[in-house]
Structure formats: structure tokens, C-alpha cells
Copies of this chain bind each other. A is one copy, B any other.
Amino acid sequence: MYETKIAIQGGPASFHDAAARQLLSGKRIVTVNCTSFRTLCAMVQQSEVDAAVMAIENTLAGSLLPNYALLQEHGLHVVAEHWMPIDQNLLALPGQSLAGIRDVLSHPVALAQCNGFLQQHPHLQPQETPDTADSAKLICERQLQNTAAIAGKAAAELYGLEVLQERIADNLHNHTRFLLLQKNCPPVSTTADKAILTFRKPLHTATLALMLSMLQKHQVELTMLQTLPATDLRGQLVAELEANHVDQLQEAIAQVRPLVEDLQVLGLLQKAPRPAANIIQKRTAAIV
């Protein structure tokens, strides 16, 4: 059976690895670990992999603007999206206790997400590492006593660690949106109800106002607009649009195309359900 080669950032049992398996469920996949998002996009562009999975937004950190810029720069196509909960847990070798843990290894972002938990247990010493799942791997390989990793439960399973404490992040509504990227543009699906596009920032605000009115005439809603990183004042904008029918999206895009420069459609896809916000819970006293 053919194995689909998917570039991801992070090692086995990382959040990208889980997202790739969920986006391509039913397919036999093999993941290729990239050390940066730029490498990941270049691997797709150079056909070294069949596709890639890349984080694009997090409910706490917002849009990952440099990743949109990479997509546009490499001319990649977005074929699907997927929201996934990011569930941080404290993992250690079997038989360890929370009281006995001294060092806590994880990626700086994961450590920051668990700041409240770490402050409530001041005997824990956070140590920054390049990856969540690889911190679990290190503990397993070196049989590190008195050491824990902050990572997803998949990492505990893969590396034979125990979950000492589950769901330790300050904000439990921590979800990340991942995109499935390909080099070639797939045929447009009739069920597509979302578009992602980039265009050069109009010189005048009037042009942007006109563009939005046109979208509205076609019953297309702008769900996200971001200014991308730029070394000059104009730069690029990225917009995400939603409509009931793919025809509305395509007609609206055709109408706005002459208004702006360098319009690129990065994807016409089916929107993924956004996670509900009613499960937001914040740990108290997590701040300062």
C-alpha cells in the first residue's frame, strides 16, 4: 500500500503528527520531521513530500502570520483545515511522584501555557527544549529520574511514560488550526465554502472599502483579515472568506481581482468546525 509522505514540524507523537493523522485519516502516512516551517514549505515546493501539515492559528496566540507569508511565498495550495485541542500534560517515568519531580522539560510555548501550574508548584524547575514530544523521548531514552515533560498524551503512550497530572495548561480552550498543503492546485470541490487569499495592500483605504462592499454583494463574509510581515509599508494582506456556495466565492473573487494587485487564491476548501468557546476555563492567579 502506498504511503503518503507528509512533512510536519516536530517528531513522532507531536501535535503536528496527530494533526496529520487526523487530516488524513484512513490513509497510510509516513511523517517527515522538519526543523522549521520554512523547510516544511520548501519540501512541498520541491516535491520531496506529497503534502505537508502546518499550524496556522492558535486560539491563544492568534494567526501565525509568518506561516501565511511562507504559504504565499512558496505558492502552495491549501486543501483542507482542521482544528485540534492542544492538551498539555505532565509526564514522567512510571513510579515517579509529583513531589519528587525537579526538572520540567518542554518547548518554551508549552511551558508558558502551563505557567499557572508551575507557579502553584514552585519546586518544579522549567527547562526549555526544542520540542514537547521529544522531551518525553529524552526522559524515556535516558531513563531520567526526578524529571518530567510537558507534552500531549500521545507522547506518554509512545515513550512509556505515566501521566502525573493531566490538562495542566492555564487556559483549557487552547486549540490550534492546522492546514493541509500541496504543491498542485486540486480541482475545486462543489462543497467548498471557504477561500484563503492574499493580495497586495491597496494604496488607499477607499479601495479596501470597495472590495469589502463587493464581497458583501455576493453574500461572502470576511472572517479574517491580517496584514502580513513586510519590509515596506504596503506589504500583503491575507483574507479568509466564507459563503454558502462555492459559486459565490468564485464570483466575488473574480469581481475583486481587478481592484487589487497580486491576488493569489491560496485555497478553496471546506471550512472546519471551529471549537466551541464555552469550555473556556482559566486557572486563577496564573498571571505575574
- Residue count of chain A within 8 Å CB distance of chain B: 52
Is A231 positioned at the interface, with any CB of B under 8 Å from its CB? yes
Is A23 positioned at the interface, with any CB of B under 8 Å from its CB? no
| A42, A46, A63, A288 — most chain B CB neighbours (10 Å) | A288
Oligomeric state, in copies: 2
Query: Are A60 and B66 in contact, CB atoms less than 8 angstroms apart?
Result: yes
Query: Are A205 and B221 in contact, CB atoms less than 8 angstroms apart?
Result: yes
Please, what's the 1-or-0 string for A244-266, where 1 marks a CB less than 8 Å from any CB in chain B?
A: 00000000000000000000000
Task: Collect the chain B residues with CB atoms within 8 Å of residue A230's CB.
Answer: 59, 62
Task: Give which listed residue, B130, B223, B231, contacts A280 with CB less than 8 A.
Answer: B231
Please, what's the 1-or-0 string for A210-254, where 1 marks a CB less than 8 Å from any CB in chain B?
A: 101101100011111111111111000100000000000000000
Task: Collect the chain B residues with CB atoms within 8 Å of residue A221's CB.
Answer: 204-205
**A contact residues vs B (CB 8 Å cutoff):** 36, 38-39, 42-43, 46, 58-63, 65-66, 69, 108, 112, 115, 128, 130, 171, 173, 204-206, 208-210, 212-213, 215-216, 220-233, 237, 274, 277, 280, 287-288
